[in-house]
């Protein structure tokens, strides 16, 4: 289970009925793995790959599975 999912379930905020799924392509290398982004409250909460994808068969490398966090990280430009 993803840490984000675990933490949200523990806090009682995980709600799949409020989540949307967006399919995209991983930006990290030239393989072109399909990513399924699960979004809740305008934040990515989980990333998977479809089981029937002929390249990944549901598996992602470490960058594909966890690299999405950079999208939500705040940096020095926003004062945090």
> CA angle, corner 21, sides to 16 and 25, nearest 5?
145
Q: What is the pLDDT of residue 22?
A: 93
pLDDT reading at 74 higher than 70: no
pLDDT tens digits, residue range 7-60?
899 999 999 999 999 999 988 888 888 899 999 998 888 888 889 888 888 888
Q: What is the pLDDT of residue 73?
A: 66
Q: What is the pLDDT of residue 12?
A: 94
Q: What is the pLDDT of residue 76?
A: 61
The verdict on domain 3-10+23-70 having CATH code 2.20.25.90 is yes
| Residue 71 contacts residue 44 (beta carbons within 8 Å) | yes
- Structural domain boundaries in the chain: 3-10+23-70
């Amino acid at each position: 289970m993803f840490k984000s999912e675990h933490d949200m379930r523990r806090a009682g905020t995980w709600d799949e009925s409020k989540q949307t799924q967006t399919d995209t392509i991983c930006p990290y290398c030239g393989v072109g793995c399909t990513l399924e982004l699960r979004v809740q409250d305008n934040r990515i909460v989980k990333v998977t790959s479809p089981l029937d994808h002929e390249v990944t068969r549901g598996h992602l490398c470490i960058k594909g599975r966890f690299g999405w966090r950079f999208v939500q990280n705040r940096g020095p430009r926003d004062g945090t």
